[in-house]
Amino acid sequence: MERNQFIQDISLIYGKVTEQIFFQIRELIVNSLMFVEKQLVDISDHPNLKEYFHHLFSNEIVKNIEQIKNISQESLLTLLYYYSEFLSNIIDIIQPFEPSLTKSLFNEIFLPSLFSDKLLTSEYFDVFIKNNGNILSTERVVQEIQELNYKSVFLLIPPLLSDETIWESTYQNQTTIDNLLKNKNIYTIKFQFDPAKTIQENSQIFYSILKDIFDNLEKKIQFNVIAFSTGNYIIRYLINYYNDFFINKFYNLIMINSPELGVKLERFILWAGFLYKYDPKTSIKILKILTDENFKIINDFDNSILFSKQFLQKEKEIFKQYKINKIYSLITENNSMWSPWLGDGLIEEPSLSFHNEDISEKNISIINGTSHLQIIPSAELRNILHQII
């Protein structure tokens, strides 16, 4: 990308890059480099490989961090260039061990799996029932369920930085998840959450919406849930704190790529760096969202009550009370020493698999060679959903 085009894209997305914004981005990148250093050195237990990584990080990462620390405010292009170059070197190192890495990271990625462009343009957020961009009232939802002969109802919960478009968007000629369900005579209720509120605040509003639906619905019908990524935080909060209310109301919980131990902010920064060479504009958008002080929910992604020892222990017992189907993807084609760290690219494998022992093995599906940004439009996911539903 030419420098002038890059600067134009920055100004269109960010507006003026102030000194404070630049320092925020620089700090995020430095922290992510240090995060990568620690984790990869710990992972690389092969003697020759470990020595190689120690050499790489003791020399290259220090040099990169020092270069980044000295980059002036006017050189955001240089900052991102150094960062993406360093991450490219890491990919080149891992690639011989994981041949599918580049394909899983960059081919056919579906960006609504990460964030919605509306976050960059909208000035008003709340917890809404959504359908093709329109906000629906609970009264209308109740009326439609009562009047029409639907087989069941599915609540579709998007990632907390995304919206209903993740379920409605066509990609590579695949049927949308929304249409897949509707073709089975299922009524879908899609939601959008408020990034300016915490997980707890979003969950409490969500509970009041669902309670209003259940309290006014005279017809007996089966309710199910499909949640993807950080959207699973909302469902986990509900069945832990309002279990008495939901225990006999939710029939099937389908949890896709659920970060049960949270997802590190550094992993989002890594995606921004990985994508820079392939899609600089998207890379800038990710940084814009992550540095927006209004988006309180980002602070909860790995620092919430959901990840406390006490909560997780209680949740183990609660999970046994529900019919739960877990589906998640891994970048690696086969289990290897890289699998735990690479995970699905965004979420580490131990976070994806934490509750596996609390769920029937036949209800756990793993899609290999597929990243966090590839699973929603994948044919493999649709095949699994067809079998479950």
Q: Kindly report, residue by residue over 295-333, the tens digit of the pLDDT.
A: 999 999 988 889 999 999 999 999 999 999 999 999 998
Q: From start to end of 274-382, where are the E strands?
A: 323-330, 364-368
Q: Kindly report, residue by residue over 5-59, the tens digit of the pLDDT.
A: 656 666 666 666 677 777 788 888 888 877 877 776 666 555 556 666 666 655 6
HEC profile of 34-92: HHHHHHHHHHCCCHHHHHHHHHHHHHHHHHHHHHHHCCCCCCHHHHHHHHHHHHHHHHH
Q: Rounded to an integer, what distance in angstroms lies between the CA atom of residue 324 and that of residue 236?
A: 11
Q: Kindly report, residue by residue over 239-294, the tens digit of the pLDDT.
A: 999 999 999 999 999 999 999 999 998 899 988 888 888 888 888 888 888 888 88
Q: Rounded to an integer, what distance in angstroms lies between the CA atom of residue 142 and that of residue 117?
A: 30
In this structure, of 68-77, 132-141, 317-326, the range with the lowest mean pLDDT score is 68-77
Q: Kindly report, residue by residue over 173-207, the tens digit of the pLDDT.
A: 789 999 999 999 999 999 999 999 999 999 999 99
Strand partners, 186: 152
CA 128 from chain centre, in angstroms, equals: 19
| Rg for the chain, CA atoms, rounded | 21
Per-residue pLDDT at 235 = 96
Q: Residue 117: CB partners within 8 Å, gap ≥ 6? A: 285
Q: Rounded to an integer, what distance in angstroms lies between the CA atom of residue 188 and that of residue 345?
A: 29
- Kindly tell me the burial class for residue 293, based on how many C-beta atoms sit within 10 Å of its own C-beta (0-12, 13-18, 19 or more): exposed
- DSSP type of residue 175: P
Position 388 confidence tier, pLDDT thresholds 50, 70, 90: very high
Structure token pair of residue 110: 């579906």
Q: Rounded to an integer, what distance in angstroms lies between the CA atom of residue 381 and that of residue 373?
A: 13
Q: Rounded to an integer, what distance in angstroms lies between the CA atom of residue 269 and that of residue 298?
A: 12
Q: What percent of the chain has pLDDT over 90?
A: 49
The sign of the torsion formed by the CA atoms of 269, 234, 191, 319 equals positive
Distances (CA, A) of 46 to 43, 76, 229: 9, 37, 32
Strand partners, 255: 227, 326
- DSSP type of residue 184: T
Compute the CA torsion angle 243, 244, 247, 253 (nearest 10 deg).
-20
Strands 134-136, 128-131: parallel, antiparallel or unpaired by DSSP?
antiparallel
User: What structural domains and CATH numbers belong to the chain?
Assistant: 3-94+265-294 (no CATH), 118-262+301-388 (3.40.50.1820)
Q: Rounded to an integer, what distance in angstroms lies between the CA atom of residue 348 and that of residue 332?
A: 12
In this structure, of 42-46, 74-78, 208-212, 315-319, the range with the lowest mean pLDDT score is 42-46
Select from 1, 105, 28, 31 the least CA-distant residue to 288. 28
- Kindly tell me the burial class for residue 114, based on how many C-beta atoms sit within 10 Å of its own C-beta (0-12, 13-18, 19 or more): buried
Q: Share the mean pLDDT of the chain.
A: 86
The kind and range of the H/E element at 299 are none
Q: Rounded to an integer, what distance in angstroms lies between the CA atom of residue 198 and that of residue 127?
A: 12
Higher confidence at residue 313 or residue 118?
A: 313
Residue with tokens 């959903």: 385
Per-residue pLDDT at 61 = 59
